[in-house]
Amino acid sequence: MPVEIPKDSWEGTVRTVTLGATSAEGGTRSRTITVGGQKTLPFMNFEQTAPNRPVVAVEIKERRPTDWSPLLLDVWGDAANDPAAWAKQAEAVGADLLVLALTLTDADGAPTTPQAAVAATKAVLGASALPLIVFGPGQAEADNELLLAVAEATKGERLALGICEDKNYRTIVAAALANDHCVTARTPMDVNLAKQLNILIHDMGLPLDRILMDPTTGALGYGIEYGYSVMERLRLAALQGDAMTQLPMLVTPGFEAWKTKESKVGQDVPEAWGDWAERAINWETLTAVALVESGADIVVLRHPESVRRIHKAIDELTISPEMA
Amino acid sequence: MALSGIQIYKLLPQTNCKDCGFPTCLAFAMKLAAKQVELSACPHVKDEAKAQLAEASEPPVRLITLTANGHEVKAGNEVVLFRHEKTFYNKPGFFLRVRDDQTADDIKAAVSAADSYMVNYVGRELMIDGFAVEAVKGDPAAFSAAIEAVRQVSHRPLILISRDPNVMAAGLRNVDGEHPLMYGADASNWQAMGDLAKQHGAALTVIAESLDGLADLATKLKEYGVPDLVLDPAARKLGTSLALNTQIRRLALRKNFRPLGYPVIAFPCDAEEAYEESMLAAHAIAKYAGFVVLDRFAPETAYPLLVLRENIYTDPQKPIQVQPGIYEINNPTPDSPVLVTTNFSITYFSVANEVESSGLPAWLLVADAEGMSVLTAWAAGKFDAERIAKSVKAFNVADKVNKKRIVIPGHVAVLSGEMEEELPDWEIRVGPREAVDLPAFMKQSL
């Protein structure tokens, strides 16, 4: 019985965003990363193969984090003491690109200075030739001060700067505009808010092919279903032709998964939770797999083993099946 | 696929006789389309039309129910491709696979560990659903013995795996009175398997490498008298499985294509490595599997998979709630502070997460706000002083602490006056508006 394969055809296309600039393009990266460009729902390769596959970013910090799970600190070891060494190590475990997430304070508790942020960013750029995303500490004033300095000191490298939010995006967008960088735009799990922030950023003059949207996710067990469905809805809207949703999506399952008790804590937890290390990696990996299938273009992870597993998943998902 | 009112109208007598209680046939048809009345209300409808309407009212993905000893696993009856369009209804059943070349002791050990597994997630007890027994020896007696070993330690529903009708027949004799799933029928054995399925009232898996093949076999088996079918499109990798499961779901829902209107079974167990198995299982949950067969049972994998299944199958139209109550965070003592929030799960998680990661001990009182967030619940009158006071009393908070002091969310600072009236011997403190500011607040102000 011949079955006619039901194929969708959409009028919209997700825009492409390219991160990093090679020497020919005015930067120092060995390669660039391009995400987006899909004309189908995720991995519907029987309709049309997507031009770009999802990529895995590894999150590093400019100094050894004090609030990370010991599992992560152990696996990164001494590399986590130094952003350059950490960047190299992240590249070695298979990162497609890096996320440098700046900390609010230095080791002594004093506010992180723009000089220190710039020094860390330059150290990372010097140690690894991968494209780079830099996140501020997540406090408006500090974000603006640090990211502005970073943006100026790295003009031409085509970083992505984050995190733009509805209450704080102007300075970051202006810094990206002036120095030829991209931005990430984060909204709290809501299609309309995502769209609105993209419009606001675009209205400042930043071209849409320099905006990544971060619709925010929850970890497995902590609201993943909201992030998952918002991403599916955003991608559907993009394919249906809604221009302000046609942006590649970045999500941070590493950050979300590793703040859960399931990942963070190994003692005094229910026996039914099983082995701590494998549970923690499952938490990050399964969160990421679900999000990749719902449309993530960049997943930011923390554990090297999760990086390996998600690469394997993306490999399998992007294989073009021989089916009519 | 459901018919529209107009399509139904064409099948009705169109006499406007009003015997059904509606003024016109069209009005009745509209009610039928909305599933607000039964067709039997019309005494004049012809048998032919009845059959057509019955066919059209069948769900696009047939509901398959496996039963054993009071346990039940359902798959099918799904109506959407994306959970946000409505919801996913029947959570895919998790089945642990054992084989008949294992010793009875090994089988019993594996099965009883998984059978007794239970993990608590937001007040719900999650567990796996059943077991799959595979005949690898080709020996009816060995298969039967393996099933018996399983039945000695578990009463949950079974999937019986063998392509040999003789072996399958032996296995089915062990589970008389149950409604298991047989795996399965292929192009060469389908009639014999169909006979067994009919004889035992079992559901039967159809196995084929292509959708054409699946549709063919499913059609033949349905005509042969086997109504309860499950599909194995034989994809064992993420990409191919995603493509085929999507195609099957689309054909069933959008084209009302009956030959593929059945639940799908997935075999993550065939992965070479444990981590691939867990990713394939996660994928199967999100992308349309009705039954999921696993090989490697470990709590550290079962727990996240069971939670993912809860999450994906949560009805997006209803907020998920946590059980109201007093939650202990970081082993609080009678000197630890009491914080109050609502029982909307995301609200609860935001607060619990922040406090938990701060390392500061606290009692978190979760009031019943009908699953709404703080501001929404407050606006709807579901999170007011009276309700909070009721929770304080209902959960005996006063007995847990030395100092009667309670912190309310900053967004409902306006409640503090009424709170003082409702809880006269308590000190009412106004906390921050956002959960993220709680650790700093607790350090500085409590």
CATH of domain B325-445: 3.40.50.11600
Q: Quote the CA–CA distance of B305 and A317 in Å, as a whole number.
A: 20
Q: What is the three-class DSSP state of B98? A: strand
Nearest to A319 among B212, B239, B259 (CB): B239
Instruction: Judge whether B33 is closer than 8 Å to chain A, CB to CB.
Output: no
User: Which residues, at least 6 apart from A202, have a Cβ–Cβ distance to it below 8 Å?
Assistant: A208, A211, A244
* Pairing relationship of beta strands B119-121 and B264-266 according to DSSP bridges: unpaired
Give me the pLDDT at residue A323, please: 45
Judge: B243–A43 Cβ closer than 8 Å, yes or no: yes
- Shortest CA gap A155–chain B (Å): 33
Instruction: Judge whether B123 is closer than 8 Å to chain A, CB to CB.
Output: no
| Location of each CATH 3.40.50.11600 domain in chain B | 325-445
Judge: A224–B250 Cβ closer than 8 Å, yes or no: no
Strands (E), B127-220: 130-134, 158-161, 181-185, 203-207
Give me the pLDDT at residue A321, please: 57
pLDDT, mean of residues A212-220: 95
CATH of domain B64-312: 3.20.20.20
pLDDT, mean of residues A278-292: 98
Measure Cα distances from B431 to A155, B2, B333 in Å. Answer: 43, 52, 20
pLDDT, mean of residues A69-87: 97
Contact present, B246 and B288 (Cβ < 8 Å): yes
Contact present, A163 and A255 (Cβ < 8 Å): no
Nearest to B299 among A232, A259, A273 (CB): A273
Instruction: Give me the residues paired with residue B364 across strands.
Output: B327, B339
Q: Quote the CA–CA distance of A68 and A73 in Å, as a whole number.
A: 7
pLDDT band at A63 (very low <50, low <70, confident <90, very high): very high
Contact present, B100 and B135 (Cβ < 8 Å): yes
Report the number of secondary-structure helices (H) and strands (E) in chain B.
Answer: 16, 17
Give me the pLDDT at residue B37, please: 82
For chain B, the C-alpha Rg in angstroms (whole number) is 27
Residue B274 burial (10 A CB sphere; 0-12, 13-18, 19+):
middle
Structure-token pair, residue B269: 């167990």
Nearest to B307 among A67, A221, A317 (CB): A221
Cα angle for residues A37, A42, A48 (degrees, 5° grid): 65
Q: Quote the CA–CA distance of A27 and A16 in Å, as a whole number.
A: 19
pLDDT along chain B (446 residues), means of 10: 80 91 90 81 87 79 96 96 95 98 98 97 91 98 98 98 98 96 97 98 97 97 97 95 97 94 98 97 98 97 98 86 91 95 88 87 94 88 94 94 95 93 94 90 89
Give me the pLDDT at residue B2, please: 65
pLDDT exceeds 50 at position A324: no
B107-156: per-residue pLDDT in tens? 999 999 999 999 998 878 999 999 999 999 999 999 999 999 999 999 99
Q: Quote the CA–CA distance of A321 and A324 in Å, as a whole number.
A: 9
**Chain B, window 240-259: residues with a beta carbon less than 8 angstroms from a chain A beta carbon:** 240, 242-243, 246-247, 250-251, 254-255, 257, 259
Structure-token pair, residue A258: 């590793």
Judge: B239–A6 Cβ closer than 8 Å, yes or no: no
* Domains of chain A with CATH codes: 16-318 (3.20.20.20)
Q: A137 contacts in B (CB within 8 Å)?
A: none
**Chain B, window 202-221: residues with a beta carbon less than 8 angstroms from a chain A beta carbon:** 211-212, 215-216, 219
Measure Cα distances from B216 to A2, A64, A106, B223, B224 in Å. Answer: 8, 60, 67, 11, 12
- Shortest CA gap B431–chain A (Å): 20
Q: Quote the CA–CA distance of A314 and A101 in Å, as a whole number.
A: 24
Give me the pLDDT at residue A108, please: 93
Region label for B147, one of left (φ > 0), alpha (ψ between -120 and 50) or beta (otherwise): alpha
Nearest to B349 among A222, A293, A319 (CB): A222
**Chain B, window 288-327: residues with a beta carbon less than 8 angstroms from a chain A beta carbon:** 298-305, 307-308, 310-312, 314, 316
Instruction: Judge whether B351 is closer than 8 Å to chain A, CB to CB.
Output: no
pLDDT band at A322 (very low <50, low <70, confident <90, very high): low
Structure-token pair, residue A140: 């408006």
Q: What is the three-class DSSP state of A250? A: strand
CA atoms lying within 13 Å on the CB side of residue B2: 12
Give me the pLDDT at residue A210, please: 98
Judge: B279–A286 Cβ closer than 8 Å, yes or no: yes
* Pairing relationship of beta strands A16-19 and A33-36 according to DSSP bridges: antiparallel
| Location of each CATH 3.20.20.20 domain in chain B | 64-312
Judge: A6–B250 Cβ closer than 8 Å, yes or no: yes
pLDDT exceeds 90 at position A84: yes
Give me the pLDDT at residue B250, please: 97
- Shortest CA gap B281–chain A (Å): 9
Is the sign of the CA dihedral B422, B428, B433, B437 positive or negative? negative
| Location of each CATH 1.10.15.40 domain in chain B | 5-57
Contact present, B67 and B200 (Cβ < 8 Å): no
Give me the pLDDT at residue B128, please: 97
Q: Phi and psi dihedrals of B313, rounded to 5?
A: -95, 10
- Shortest CA gap B244–chain A (Å): 9
Q: B311 contacts in A (CB within 8 Å)?
A: 220-221, 224-225, 228
Judge: A6–B301 Cβ closer than 8 Å, yes or no: no
Measure Cα distances from B166 to A170, B175, B247 in Å. Answer: 73, 15, 34
Is the sign of the CA dihedral A52, A54, A58, A59 positive or negative? positive
User: Which residues, at least 6 apart from A41, have a Cβ–Cβ distance to it below 8 Å?
Assistant: A8, A235, A236, A239, A295
- Closest by CA to B101, choosing from B58, B56, B69, B146, is B146
Nearest to B301 among A43, A282, A321 (CB): A282
pLDDT, mean of residues A111-119: 97
Judge: A229–B84 Cβ closer than 8 Å, yes or no: yes
Nearest to B238 among A233, A274, A313 (CB): A313
B330-386: per-residue pLDDT in tens? 999 999 999 999 998 888 988 988 898 888 999 999 999 988 889 889 988 999 999
Q: Quote the CA–CA distance of B76 and A22 in Å, as a whole number.
A: 52
Nearest to B243 among A44, A223, A272 (CB): A44
Structure-token pair, residue B72: 């039940």
- Shortest CA gap A121–chain B (Å): 27
Topology (CATH level 3) of domain B5-57: 3-methyladenine DNA Glycosylase II; Chain A, domain 3 (1.10.15)
